[in-house]
Amino acid sequence: MAAITLTKKSGDAGVYSLDFELELYAGALDTETRWLDGAGGAADTYPGSLDAFSATNTDTTNTAGKGLKLACFQVTTIMGTGDIAEIGGGASKIHAVIVGGQAANASVGGIISSSSGTLQDQITFTLAGSVAVPMNLWIICS
């Protein structure tokens, strides 16, 4: 599986290094319901007959889908308000972001946004005060 990446989409900040990523598998996301139909069933036919749930040797339909991941990135360049970063690699959707830094009189916020309709794959940053680097971004994604 590809490592999760975070890349500069616009603005000044563009150096993000992945410290680690953790799998947070605890079941399927609420949007992943295809497995309810069984491997032999047509999409969106649950509940239906038991024939669709016959034994199979594939993990295509019966998979629970993509699970959540926790990725920690270190930011080594100072960001500016309005800078946008985009997630990629082993993830395509951002569910939550926490920004942590070392500056006492600064705050950084991240607004989850979309580059293509409904997919929430970007973070737009807002800053207040004197931001210091390095900073950490904790991102829950899938």
Q: Which residue has the higher pLDDT, 113 or 35?
A: 113
Confidence of residue 5 (pLDDT cuts 50, 70, 90): very high
pLDDT at position 73 is 93
Q: What is the pTM of this model?
A: 0.72
125 has which bridge partners? 110
Q: What is the pLDDT of residues 80-122, one digit of tens each?
A: 888 889 999 988 889 888 887 776 666 777 888 887 766 788 9
Confidence of residue 52 (pLDDT cuts 50, 70, 90): low
Q: How many CA atoms lie within 13 A of 137 on its CB side?
A: 36
Phi and psi for 51 in degrees, rounded to 5? -60, -35
pLDDT at position 30 is 63
pLDDT at position 11 is 81
> Would you say residue 72 has pLDDT above 90?
yes
> Would you say residue 64 has pLDDT above 60?
no
Structure tokens, 119 = 């997919």
> Would you say residue 69 has pLDDT above 70?
yes
Q: Compute the residue count for the chain.
A: 142
Mean pLDDT (the chain, rounded): 78
Residue that has been written with the tokens 């989409």 in this structure: 9
DSSP the chain: -PPEEEEEEESS---EEEEEEEE--SS--TT--GGGG-TTSPTT--S--GGGG---S--SSSS--PPPEEEEEEE-S---TT-EEEEEET---EEEEEEE-S-TTEEEEEEEE-SBTTB--EEEEEEEE---S-EEEEEEE-
pLDDT at position 35 is 64
